[in-house]
Structure 1
Amino acid sequence: MTTTDPHDVPTAAQLVAAVRDFLQTDVLPGVEGRVRFHTRVAINVLGMVEREIELGPAQAAEHARRLADLGVADDAELAAAIRDGRLQDGAALTAALEAAVRAKLEVANPGYLTSG
């Protein structure tokens, strides 16, 4: 957070983390069945939101750079270029697609990125 940010602390990410921690620490141990399942879903969703707030801006900038390097403006144009054969399969395309999937997993479920 910089001195020009319009919001005081806690930040949105800190608020999300606090709610996630509350659910995980105080609520989850005391509930069962359907409520327990939905509490776990809510904990996972809040974790995703927290990671997107933290990682999203840098990921968006990197993604835009990768798309520009491939000569396309957005994901729809990338898909059309691949489908139409305007982009050939190669190291640059593969690296861009792998980086895009990695960024999605870093937000959605970073546990999938650990080698086991």
Structure 2
Amino acid sequence: MSAPHDLPTTTQLVAAVREFLQADVLPEVEGRVRFHTRVAINVLGMVEREIELGPSHTASHAERLALLGVADDAELAKAIREGDLEGGALLGVLAEIVRDKLAVANPRHAE
């Protein structure tokens, strides 16, 4: 965070809500409310990770696309469909893209 905003940061606010739900709400609820509380905890974790990792992932993604000679995801998809891209370089880039997505969505699946 930078001026004009003060502390707490967006990340700190999201973490505080997630921690409250996890520590105070989740143990006190059951059934449908417990399920939705767990979903909310997971969503807030994803938001935290996206805030933290988003800028570096954006830069890395742009570099990877440039290495393949495409400008954006739509152009990447088109090049794959048309058979213009294939082989190890493409597979490596796609694996890195998936790793970044998993790092935000659910880091446990990236292991």
Q: TM-score, normalised by structure 1?
A: 0.92
What SS does structure 2 have at the residue aligned with 1:85? coil
Q: Which runs of 5+ in 2 are unaligned?
A: none
Equivalent positions of 1:24-103 (< 5 A) are 24-87=22-85, 89-103=86-100
* Distance (whole Å) between structure 1 residues aligned to residue 3 and residue 57 of structure 2: 20
Letter in 2 for 1:102: R
C-alpha distance in 1 between matches for 2:6 and 2:92: 39
Counterparts of 2:7 and 2:103 in 1: how far apart (Å)? 25
Number of the residue aligned with 1:110: 107
**For residues 54 and 95 of structure 2, what CA distance do their matches in structure 1 show?**
17
% identical equivalent positions: 72
In structure 1, distance between residues paired with 2:50 and 2:73: 18
Which deviations, in whole Å up to 9, do the C-alpha atoms of 1:32-75 show, x marking residues without a partner? Answer: 10000000000000000000000011001000010011010111
Alpha-carbon distance, 1:5 to partner: 3.6
Query: What TM-score, normalized to structure 2?
Result: 0.96
Runs of at least 5 residues in structure 1 that lack an aligned partner in the other structure:
none
Task: Name the amino acid aligned to 1:40.
Answer: R
Q: How far apart are residue 23 of structure 1 and its match?
A: 0.1
Q: 1:5 to 1:62 in 2, by over 3 A?
A: farther
